[in-house]
Structure 1
Amino acid sequence: MSESQTLGNCRFCSVVSKNSGEDPIGTAGTYDHWLIVELALPWTEKSLREDPKVQPIMALIQKMSLEGMKIQALAIAPNQEYSQPGSTRVLYYRRPAKFFAQFEKQEFCIPTEMLPALATALLTRSQNLPQFEVYRQETQTIRDLFVCTHGNVDIACARFGYPIYQTLKRDYARHSNGKLRVWQCSHFGGHRFAPTLLDLPEGRYWGRLEPNVLDTLISRTGSVKDLSPFYRGWAGLTQLAQIVEREIWIREGWDWLNYLKAENTIPATESHNLQKPDGVAVQIDFVNTNGDTSTYQAQVGENGEVMSLSASGDKQPLTAFKQYHVIHLKKKIRFKQTKQDN
């Protein structure tokens, strides 16, 4: 069977999901660390498993994950506009504090044989890290967009991800004066929302992206609400808090991206105000750019379910996915900065 016949006969999970009305919010991975490594295509399970450069890194990540560390490892495809011959690029992002707006970034271009040693030093915060200083890249002001094109995991990612990758690279990255890079990357979950995108250093996940929303996504102008159907969530929060955070972002506007924020447990003295039998209480605290500390308290409840595909394919069965919505949201100002406080 030819590739065109295969694509023509395949039920794409992302098409079924969209037609079912499934809401992508709350499907972002919750991570404190990303290790992103330049690796040549194709990314097959066999090649990633047997690559001697990758084996020790994956073993370490597996060990640290079992110990409770929230790490996402990704591969990015070498790119003639960004890559350096004979070197491997490594991007490492970590959560800098409990309250934060974006992840802390480090980037290196190293001789490939040094990859396992650098990855170990980054993940363990080893005292050996200074020896790689000569390979550090000053890219703190660069925004990186990672588009999943990993068709070996699910064909929808290649079918829908690659065209969005090309559009972002051609129409946005090339006209950004070096402030924006776009990468093909390996799978980071949520292929039923393809094309999917990870925006770092903020750590925001997007899905079902269409060309007509890219201007708003990249320029951060216009209506936040127009982007809400494509938003999967922020990696700094857990699932239900991601659902609440979308509603807060719509209320607060684009300034919300710059606010330091964190998910917290609602104090017992206040939880009685949110007790409803059909919901779960969520609290997000934040500090705005004026230094005012505020809290949003919310109740998240189930909102039915939709039938969708967990993977692309003609023989894949439909699966029920629960949907959620915010049924109560209230803002409280905890501390307002004054001139005497500055």
Structure 2
Amino acid sequence: MAMEPDGTPARQPRCAALSVELGEPLAGTAAFARSWLAIEQPGPWGRDALAASHLDEGVAKELAALAAGTGVRIVLIRRPGSHPDRHRPVPRRVYLAHTAPGRTWLERTTLTDPKELLDLDFARAGAGAPGLLGTPVSDPLLLVCTNGRRDVCCALLGRPVAAELAAMHGERVWECTHIGGHRFAPTAVLLPTGYSYGRLTTGAATRLLAGGPDLVDCRGRSTWSPPGQVAEVAVRESTGIADVDALAVTTVEEPVEAGWVVTVAHRDGRTWRVTVAEREISPGRAASCGAAPTPAVALTALSVSARR
């Protein structure tokens, strides 16, 4: 164990600081979800927030079972600020979003009992059928992870950013539970596109809420698999294409050598083949605060070739 000069155990750097120090790339690390269901749940959240909150345990289990295999990811959300430990029923906002290019949508409703969500058709929600929940929402929604029980970096780095953004943008910004990659805190997902971000700043978040994908510290679009996320970001970086609906990942091939060949198509007919490979992160990194460093890999785009 490393020690300070006075003989006390050395304080270990937070996982987010270590990730920055290693220069760990963000592309290809977004959680996979074709659709997102965000349920307002005030009060404290545990490590597994859906099961460890004041949300009814039975309802939480049923929601998780209904969402399994549908492409719908469930997160809890709450307003930035203090989180009193209240048990009484309160009206709560619920958002449902679909992320597929050209078919993105965001809907909102208000419920008094989350049990009503058990009637939601999760299969159709994952497939992108609109009109399942409530009122269409035209403005984008930004969810900032602040689940400190999952990793302290999310609380220490995410809450101040979420609070500042909420003061500027109101209910377009919410705190949310785990969305993966807490070593990139502050992390956030933008709905309805599903673009995820790490090392978020208030300036970057304000640009996101203005529309369009910002490639700075972009983890990828949740619609795609990790290689697809890397490939789509690489095509945008090499071409300057900013239209969120212009590009789609059409195929992900596994070549003989380690890696993938990904085809990204533009709606005007242009296509690109992107070679994506793994590279080792040396000397390893901690996935969470307090965890020991372990061998890890990152995905990177080796080449982007236009096809006609």
Give TM-score scaled by structure 1 length: 0.73
Instruction: Name the CA shift for 1:220/1:58 in 2 (closer, same or farther; >3 Å).
Output: same
Q: Aligned pairs, how many? A: 285
Q: Which has the larger radius of gyration?
A: 1
C-alpha deviation, 1:79, in angstroms = 6.3
Task: State the 4+ residue runs in structure 1 displaced beyond 6 angstroms.
Answer: none
Can you give the 5+ residue segments of structure 2 that lack an aligned partner in the other structure? 1-9, 82-88, 126-130
The answer to whether the 8 A contact 2:251-2:263 is kept is: yes
**CA–CA separation in structure 2 for the residues paired with 1:76 and 1:220:** 22
Instruction: Name the CA shift for 1:203/1:304 in 2 (closer, same or farther; >3 Å).
Output: same
Deviation readout 1:186-239 (Å, 9 max, x if unpaired): 111110000001000110000012345445444468xx8xx5451111111111
Identical residues among aligned pairs (%): 23
Match of 1:340 in 2: none
The answer to whether the 8 A contact 2:232-2:247 is kept is: no
Match of 1:142 in 2: 139
Greater helix proportion: 1
- What residue identity is the alignment partner of 1:89? R
Match of 1:161 in 2: 158
Q: Determine which of 294, 298, 305 is the counterpart of 1:323.
A: 298
- What residue identity is the alignment partner of 2:134? R
**CA–CA separation in structure 2 for the residues paired with 1:52 and 1:240:** 35
Moved more, 245-254 or 195-204: 245-254
Instruction: Name the CA shift for 1:250/1:54 in 2 (closer, same or farther; >3 Å).
Output: farther
Match of 1:117 in 2: 116
Give TM-score scaled by structure 2 length: 0.80
After superposition, residues 153-192 of structure 1 pair within 5 angstroms as: 153-171=150-168, 173-174=169-170, 181-192=172-183
- What residue identity is the alignment partner of 1:20? L
C-alpha deviation, 1:101, in angstroms = 4.1
Instruction: Name the CA shift for 1:13/1:101 in 2 (closer, same or farther; >3 Å).
Output: farther
- What residue identity is the alignment partner of 1:295? T
Answering whether residue 181 of structure 2 is matched by residue 205 of structure 1, we say no
Tell me how large the CA RMSD over aligned residues is: 3.1
Answering whether residue 71 of structure 2 is matched by residue 70 of structure 1, we say yes
- What residue identity is the alignment partner of 2:18? V
Secondary structure of 1:92's aligned partner = strand
Match of 1:94 in 2: 98
Deviation readout 1:215-272 (Å, 9 max, x if unpaired): 5444468xx8xx5451111111111111111111123335331315233256xxxx9x
Match of 2:37 in 1: 35
**CA–CA separation in structure 1 for the residues paired with 2:277 and 2:185:** 26
Answering whether residue 64 of structure 2 is matched by residue 61 of structure 1, we say yes
